[in-house]
């Protein structure tokens, strides 16, 4: 009979956060997780920085006037671990599903930097991955720091091999190939919603193109998950009639799932409309397309073309001590591993920090 390959029901949540309100947004996320679980979801994915919102102000206002918004975002950002992640981990455990949650991550060593981060939480409530966006896009550089290669990883799970990239990272062929080469089978990409700006930038079409292209090139199932701009965002940022007009107008974004043949295998939702779409995926469907073009295997020439991935974490401080714990010696060991190799800095969260 041979091996039985995994099957998974994917749930993509197109929804708005309660803008700049961490606790209320986590509460909304828990309700949506419960709804998806009732509908049999094995993996539930949320938009980019769902907790607790995208920094639209840098597209609407002179940067010198936006510091109060940034301060509000910092105060409503998520530390890992924290009470907010505890609630998410318990929800994943209750749902018996994998959760991919976009957060504004606040590191513990500074109040001046945030990271655009995807958390991947497993059905036991463990945080498996904390992927930080490698390169913020355009005005986003005013808000988020840069991630590193330590979190560019694929997770081998009972429902398939999971990988994730955030928004514009999905336009980076090297970042995408790094996941394909690790055997990715289910790719999760998440995005904000954007107001239609009248300048010809069509985020909806760009997302659809990126998602279908990655599905085709990698022969993987690709989820695209976009956010929604709702009244809570308009109320927070629309301090002029012009901003109110822009934020309250038509939106662009895309939520849907593509199969390894690049064809849509789910329903879609209109931009600006909240809801959850589902797709039932069988990993066996990857085999036929891979027979034709397997860029992670037979359909490549690694003696001619290859990718080097630097997994060294970007860190502000390296501490050294001797075997007795005194400063000035060799790198201090933590649980049999040196500080430089600590799980806390390679994208995983140490067991002691995982809350259930």
Kindly report which listed range (54-58, 147-151, 197-201, 202-206) carries the lowest average pLDDT score: 197-201
- Report the mean per-residue pLDDT for the chain: 91
pLDDT on residue 198:
60
Structure tokens at 17: 């956060």
330: how many CB neighbours lie within 10 A of its CB?
A: 10
pLDDT tens, position by position, 29-78: 999 999 999 999 999 999 999 999 999 999 899 989 999 999 999 999 99
Say which CATH architecture domain 7-303 belongs to. Answer: 4-Layer Sandwich (3.60)
**pLDDT (tens digit per residue) in 260-290:** 999 999 999 999 999 999 999 999 999 999 9
In whole angstroms, give the CA distance from residue 119 to residue 45: 10
Cβ(62)–Cβ(87) below 8 Å: no
Assess whether pLDDT exceeds 80 at residue 336. no
pLDDT at 356: 40
Residue 338 confidence class, pLDDT cut points 50, 70, 90? very low
SS (H, E, C) the chain: CCCCCCEEEEEEEECCCCCCCHHHHHHHHHHHHHHHHHCCCCEEECCCCCECCCCHHHHCCCHHHCHHHHHHHHHCCECCCCHHHHHHHHHHHHHCCEEEEEEEECCCCCCCCEEEEEEEECCCCCEEEEEECCCCCHHHHHCECCCCHHHCCCEEECCEEEEEEEHHHHHCHHHHHHHHCCCCCEEEEECCCEECCCCCCCHHHHHHHHHHHHHHHHCCEEEEECCCCCHHHHHHHCCCHHHHHHHHCCEECCCEEECCCCCECCCCCCCCCCEEEEEEEEHHHHHHHHHHCCCCCCCCCCCCCCCCCCCCCCCCCCCEECCCCCEEEEECEECCEEHHHCHHHCCCCCHHHCCC
pLDDT at 92: 98
Residue 317, CB-side half-sphere exposure with 13 Å CA sphere = 6
Average pLDDT over residues 287-313: 96
Q: Which of 28, 48, 290, 355 is catalytic?
A: 48
Spatial separation of the C-alpha atoms in residues 280 and 257, rounded to whole Å: 10
Q: For residues 28 and 15, what is the distance between their CA atoms, to the nearest angstrom?
A: 9
Name the least confident of 175-184, 243-252, 284-293, 321-330: 321-330
Say what the pLDDT of residue 298 is.
Answer: 97
The per-residue pLDDT for range 71-125, each reduced to its tens digit, is 999 999 999 999 999 999 999 999 999 999 999 999 999 999 999 999 999 999 9
Residue 100 CA to residue 223 CA, distance in Å, equals 11
Contacts of 38 (CB under 8 A, 6+ apart): none
Does 72 or 321 have the greater pLDDT score? 72
Do the Cβ atoms of 133 and 171 come closer than 8 Å? Answer: no
The residues spanned by each domain of the chain are 7-303
121/195 Cα distance (integer angstroms)? 31
> Is 140 considered catalytic here?
no
Give the pTM: 0.91
28, 89, 105, 167: the active-site residue: 167
pLDDT confidence tier of residue 199, bands split at 50, 70 and 90: low
pLDDT given at position 321: 85
Residue 331 has pLDDT above 50, yes or no: no
- Residue, of 175 and 319, whose pLDDT is higher: 175
Of the pLDDT bands very low, low, confident and very high (cuts 50, 70, 90), residue 8 is very high
pLDDT (0 to 100) of residue 276 = 98
Given this model, what pLDDT does residue 354 score? 52
Whether 340 is catalytic: no
pLDDT tens figures, 159-175: 999 999 999 999 999 99
> Is the pLDDT score of 328 beyond 70?
no
Tell me which of 28, 133, 219, 290 is the catalytic residue: 133
Residue 327's pLDDT band (cuts 50, 70, 90): low
Asked if pLDDT for residue 329 goes beyond 80, the answer is: no
Asked if residue 149 has pLDDT above 90, the reply is: yes
Asked if 334 is an active-site residue, the reply is no
């Amino acid at each position: 009979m041979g091996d039985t390959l995994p099957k998974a029901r994917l749930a993509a949540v197109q929804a708005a956060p309660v803008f700049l309100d961490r606790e209320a947004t986590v509460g909304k996320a828990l309700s949506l997780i419960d709804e998806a679980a009732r509908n049999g979801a094995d993996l539930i994915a949320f938009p980019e920085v769902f907790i607790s919102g995208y920094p639209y102000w840098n597209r609407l206002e002179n940067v010198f006037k936006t510091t109060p918004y940034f301060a509000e975002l910092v105060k409503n950002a998520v530390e890992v671990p924290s009470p907010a992640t505890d609630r998410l981990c318990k929800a994943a455990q209750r749902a018996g599903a994998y959760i991919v949650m976009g957060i504004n991550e606040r590191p513990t060593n500074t109040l001046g930097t945030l990271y655009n981060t995807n958390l991947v939480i497993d059905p036991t409530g463990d945080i498996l991955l904390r992927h930080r966006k490698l390169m913020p896009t355009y005005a986003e550089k005013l808000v988020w720091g840069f991630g590193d290669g330590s979190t560019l990883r694929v997770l081998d799970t009972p429902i398939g091999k999971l990988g994730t990239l955030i928004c514009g990272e999905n336009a980076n062929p090297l970042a995408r190939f790094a996941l394909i080469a690790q055997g990715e089978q289910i790719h999760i990409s998440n995005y904000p919603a954007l107001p239609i700006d009248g300048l010809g930038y069509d985020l909806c079409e760009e997302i659809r193109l990126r998602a279908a292209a990655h599905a085709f090139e990698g022969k993987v199932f690709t989820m695209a998950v976009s956010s929604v701009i709702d009244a809570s965002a308009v109320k927070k940022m629309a301090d002029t009639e012009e901003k109110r007009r822009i934020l309250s107008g038509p939106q662009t974004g895309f939520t849907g799932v593509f199969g390894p043949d690049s064809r849509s295998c789910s329903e879609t939702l209109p931009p600006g409309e909240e809801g959850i779409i589902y797709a039932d995926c069988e990993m066996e469907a990857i085999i036929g397309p891979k027979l034709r073009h397997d860029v992670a295997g037979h359909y490549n020439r690694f003696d001619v073309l290859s990718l080097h991935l630097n997994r060294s974490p970007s860190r502000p401080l390296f501490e050294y001590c001797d075997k007795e714990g005194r400063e000035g010696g060799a790198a201090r060991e933590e649980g049999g591993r040196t500080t430089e190799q600590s799980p806390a800095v390679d994208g995983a969260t140490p067991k002691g920090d995982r809350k259930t």
